């Protein structure tokens, strides 16, 4: 069924291309040459700008046709607008200052022969298919002379007869019918590729630049958020403990001569605080890429990360090879934040961490049997992960209904 839909879509695209191309050529090209010929007077600039705007309108029509034919969204280039305080001449000539306007005009020039090619190829193949399959019926109405012959039939069948001619055209019709999908598809793809080259390529580049700009901004924002969080955690945790440890050691030093037993108890308390501070620093370091990640890769780092979790974690690793360093760092940080969120907020008794690869994308999934209710907007260590993944063209999703379970998924193209 899909083949028949594609067959009809390609036929409609090819057959409508010619009338659209003819109308575009007839309307745009005369105005363009009229504008060129009258540039010596101010009116020529206005006519030329009108021709470019007209070409832009037909280019937008072609983009709509491309979108309907392909089933995918077709990007539209950004046309620069004239400054708000620009004068009348600047506003009139503004279309001339856009490179895409000239590409639209070039498409109006060159689209006609390409449209003729796709139109003629489609019509000829369908005519050969339908005409050949029905030749047995309508050939009786053709005027034949006594000396009429068909050299092709003679070569293929050895002699010319009406019966052999019917067989020849029937076979030709069957061949064209069996190949019309591929021929028509070739014509449609050729025409669409030409249109995309002139009408959407610049838009794709502009979109990529915008994505990279947004990705860079997201990376800066994510790093700033992570640094602020790390600074706050160090200030509220290890820093306070170290201050208290220094005070305890100072007191023990004063007690050492007068009350050695009290000094020993103070030192024991200080040792306990030092151990707690070390554990807290170790927990904070999970949000920073550990040496094992650089030395042995993401699978080993995730295994170590899961072993340190206070909640039992079942680890499934389907990826064993090394990945690009930036991707490994982002996925490790995502897993670390997700497991920290499980330990702090979920009240879960079990969790699962899965690393897998499907269709050129790497997935990290963390799930737990906790109380649910997690959301990136609420913080809880999840805020900023989507920005981090954006830096490597990745995506982030959280499914955590009230009552659980919670599933966190990060996917990155490789």
Instruction: Print burial letters for 8-28: b (CB count within 10 Å at least 16), e (below 16).
Output: ebbbebbbebbebbeebbebb
> What's the CATH number of domain 291-413, 3.40.50.1240, 3.30.230.10, 3.40.190.10, 3.30.565.10?
3.30.565.10
Query: Cβ–Cβ contacts within 10 Å for residue 353, how many?
Result: 24
Question: pLDDT (tens digit, 0 to 9) for every residue of the chain, 414 residues total?
Answer: 788 888 899 999 999 999 999 999 999 999 999 999 898 888 889 999 999 999 999 999 999 999 999 888 888 887 878 888 888 888 888 888 888 889 999 999 999 999 999 999 999 999 999 999 998 888 888 887 777 788 888 888 888 888 888 899 999 999 999 999 999 999 999 999 999 888 888 767 766 666 666 656 655 555 656 666 666 666 666 667 677 767 777 777 777 777 777 777 777 777 777 777 776 666 666 555 567 777 788 888 888 888 888 888 888 888 888 888 788 888 888 888 888 878 877 788 888 899 988 888 889 898 888 887 776 665 555 666 777 777 777 888 888 888 778 888 888 887
Q: How far is CA 212 from each of CA 122, 205, 208, 219, rounded to the nearest angstrom?
A: 41, 10, 6, 10
Rounded Cα–Cα distance for residues 100 and 77 (Å): 7
Please, what is the end-to-end C-alpha distance for the chain in angstroms? 34
Asked if residues 176 and 125 have their Cβ atoms less than 8 Å apart, the reply is yes
Rounded Cα–Cα distance for residues 128 and 134 (Å): 10
**DSSP 3-state of 404:** coil
Report the chain's C-alpha Rg in angstroms. 36
Kindly compute the dihedral angle of the four CA atoms of residues 119, 121, 122, 125, in this order, to the nearest 10 degrees: 150
Q: Which residues pair with 356 in a beta bridge?
A: 363
Residues 6 or more apart whose CB falls under 8 angstroms from that of 235 comprise: none
Closest Cα partner for 219 from 340, 336, 392? 392
Domain-wise residue ranges, the chain: 2-198, 237-285, 291-413
* Predicted local distance difference test score (pLDDT) of residue 113: 94
């Amino acid at each position: 069924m899909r083949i028949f839909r594609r067959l009809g879509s390609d036929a409609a695209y090819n057959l409508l291309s010619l009338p659209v191309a003819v109308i575009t050529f007839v309307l745009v090209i005369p105005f363009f040459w009229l504008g060129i010929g009258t540039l010596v007077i101010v009116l020529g600039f206005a006519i030329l700008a009108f021709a470019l705007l007209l070409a832009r309108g037909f280019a937008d029509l072609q983009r709509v046709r491309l979108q309907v034919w392909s089933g995918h969204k077709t990007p539209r280039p950004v046309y620069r607008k004239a400054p708000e305080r620009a004068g009348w001449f600047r506003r009139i000539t503004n279309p001339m200052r856009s490179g895409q306007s000239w590409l639209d005009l070039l498409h109006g020039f060159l689209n006609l022969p390409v449209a003729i090619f796709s139109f003629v190829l489609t019509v000829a193949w369908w005519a050969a298919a339908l005409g050949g399959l029905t030749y047995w019926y309508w050939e009786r109405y053709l005027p034949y002379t006594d000396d009429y012959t068909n050299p092709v039939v003679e070569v293929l069948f050895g002699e010319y007869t009406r019966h052999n001619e019917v067989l020849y055209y029937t076979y030709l019709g069957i061949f064209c019918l069996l190949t019309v999908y591929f021929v028509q598809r070739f014509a449609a793809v050729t025409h669409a590729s030409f249109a995309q080259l002139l009408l959407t390529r610049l838009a794709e580049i502009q979109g990529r630049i915008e994505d990279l700009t947004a990705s860079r901004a997201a990376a800066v924002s994510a790093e700033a958020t992570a640094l602020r969080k790390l600074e706050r955690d160090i200030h509220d945790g290890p820093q306070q403990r170290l201050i208290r440890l220094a005070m305890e050691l100072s007191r023990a030093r004063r007690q050492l001569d007068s009350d050695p037993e009290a000094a020993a108890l103070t030192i024991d308390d200080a040792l306990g605080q030092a151990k707690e501070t070390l554990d807290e620093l170790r927990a904070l370091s999970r949000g920073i890429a550990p040496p094992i990640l650089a030395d042995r890769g993401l699978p080993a780092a995730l295994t170590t990360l899961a072993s340190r979790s206070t909640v039992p974690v079942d680890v499934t690793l389907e990826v064993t090879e090394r990945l690009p360093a930036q991707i490994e760092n982002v996925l490790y940080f995502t897993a670390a934040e997700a497991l920290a969120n499980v330990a702090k907020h979920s009240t879960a008794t079990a969790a699962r961490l899965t690393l897998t690869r499907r269709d050129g994308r790497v997935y990290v999934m963390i799930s737990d049997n906790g109380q649910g209710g997690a959301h990136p907007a609420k913080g809880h260590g999840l805020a900023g992960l989507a920005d981090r993944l954006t830096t490597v063209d990745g995506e982030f999703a959280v499914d955590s209904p009230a009552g659980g379970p919670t599933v966190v998924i990060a996917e990155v193209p490789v």
